[in-house]
Structure 1
Amino acid sequence: MKKLVLLLIVLTTFGCKKYVVSFEQPTDKKLDNLKLEVLLDTEKVKDITLKATEAMPTYETASLSVSGEGKHLLQVKVNDTIFNYEVKYPEERYILLTAHLKKNGKVHIGILKQNYKYRLR
């Protein structure tokens, strides 16, 4: 029984293909309680509510499972705007998303992609 449990743990650890997405919590108070809807390959996978901070931005990290290697479509819905990003697995496994408020009052979502972990403090 112990061997079966150990095998199951090993398979789930190494068998799952995931994107690690970090959402930066903004310092701009106008973005407080802004809701982001995250879709991966047109399927809703996560809802994020941004919480504005006073000094340094904080990060909320989520793991998004993918079915296979290759190109995937990452979409972020904000209000009535959809931001589309093409990400490649496993080359761009770690993703950082940042919300900005433009001078015209519209929200923009920026993205950074890389294959190694970000050092967030």
Structure 2
Amino acid sequence: MKKILILLIVLCTFGCEKYVVSFEQPTNMKLDNLKLEVFLDKEKMQDINLKATEALPSYETIGLSVSGEGKHLLQIKTKDTTFNFEVKYPEERYIMITTHLKNNGKIHVGILKQSYKYRVR
């Protein structure tokens, strides 16, 4: 039984197609503890709580499994707003999500997409 479980974990780790999504932790203290709900193809994947910092922004990275190649819908919900992004797998496999507070007090979520890993320093 142990061997089967280990084999299943290894296959899922190396065999699954994934988006790698990094969430930038904001430097604006008004965005501290803001909850982001992450949906992929209208299926809820995870909740992210932003932790504001006064120094350089940090990043929280998650992996989102996809069922196959092609276009997928990535949705980020915060408070009363939903942001929809079309992403292509595998061309746009690495994604960075940034959250900003506009001058009028509304929250804006931006996205950066590319095929190779981001180098965050």
Same fold (TM over 0.5): yes
> For the aligned residues, what is the CA RMSD?
1.9
- The offset of 1:13, in angstroms, is 3.7
Specify whether residues 53 and 43 from structure 1 end up closer, same or farther in structure 2 by C-alpha distance, changes over 3 A only: same
| Total equivalences in the alignment | 121
1:63-121: per-residue Cα shift (whole Å, max 9, x none)? Answer: 00001110000000010000000000000000000000000000000000000000012
1:86 match: secondary structure: strand
Q: Sequence identity, in percent?
A: 76
Structure 1, unaligned runs of 5 or more: none
In 2, the alpha carbon distance for the partners of 1:5 and 1:87 equals 32
Matches within 5 A, 1:44-83: 44-83=44-83
Moved more, 5-14 or 83-92: 5-14
Q: Aligned with 1:11: secondary structure?
A: helix
Query: Residue 5 and residue 106 in structure 1: after superposition, are their counterparts in 2 closer, same or farther (change >3 A)?
Result: closer
Q: Which residue of 2 aligns with 1:38?
A: 38
Q: In the aligned structure 2, how far is the partner of 1:5 from the partner of 1:99?
A: 38
Post-superposition offset of 1:15: 1.4
Structure 1 runs (4+) deviating above 4 angstroms are 3-10
Normalised to the residue count of structure 1, the TM-score between the two structures is 0.91
Unaligned 5+ segments in structure 2 are none
Give the equivalent residue in structure 2 for 1:22: 22
Equivalent position of 2:97 in the other structure: 97
Aligned-partner Cα distance in 2 for 1:76–1:84: 7
Q: Report the Cα offset of residue 54 of structure 1.
A: 1.2
Q: Name the aligned partner's letter for residue 99 of structure 1.
A: T
Aligned-partner residue type, residue 94 of structure 2: Y
2:106 aligned with 1:106: yes
Deviation of 1:10 (Å): 5.6
Residue deviations 1:2-48 (CA, integer Å, cap 9, x gap): x9788656633431000000000000000001000000000000100
Inter-partner Cα distance in structure 2 for 1:120 and 1:44: 27
